[in-house]
Amino acid sequence: MIGLEATVELRTFRYFVAVADAGSVNAAAQALHLTQPSLARQLHRLERRLGLPLLELRGGRTVLTEVGHQFLPYARALLATADATQVAARLLAANLRAEEQLTPEDETAA
């Protein structure tokens, strides 16, 4: 079981995926409208909390480690599930609002 101190916010997974997609921390920082140092700190915090070396400096560039490449599909799946959950919640809320707007006469006719 993961303790509260190991809780990771979804946005840091988004940051990790953004770096993987952009190919560099600099490009990802620009795309995310963050400073490079701020993004780098968030990524280091993610690595510490997960206990995984996701990124490394190689030839002056930050690249995914082998573990980072292996972890990337899990991060993508997590984000896809989170996005689907938000969509489902919006649909459920819209249905609930629609049901609340039904009058008793509407319900007996249905």
Judge whether 69 and 23 are in contact, CB under 8 Å.
no
The CATH number of the domain holding residue 94 is 1.10.10.10
Q: What is the pLDDT along the chain (110 residues), one digit of tens a residue?
A: 455 456 889 999 999 999 999 999 999 999 999 999 999 999 999 999 999 999 999 988 889 999 999 999 999 999 999 999 999 999 999 888 888 887 666 555 55
CA 37 to mean position of chain CA atoms: 19
Count of structural domains within the chain: 1
Domain span holding position 51: 4-109
- Per-residue pLDDT at 108: 59
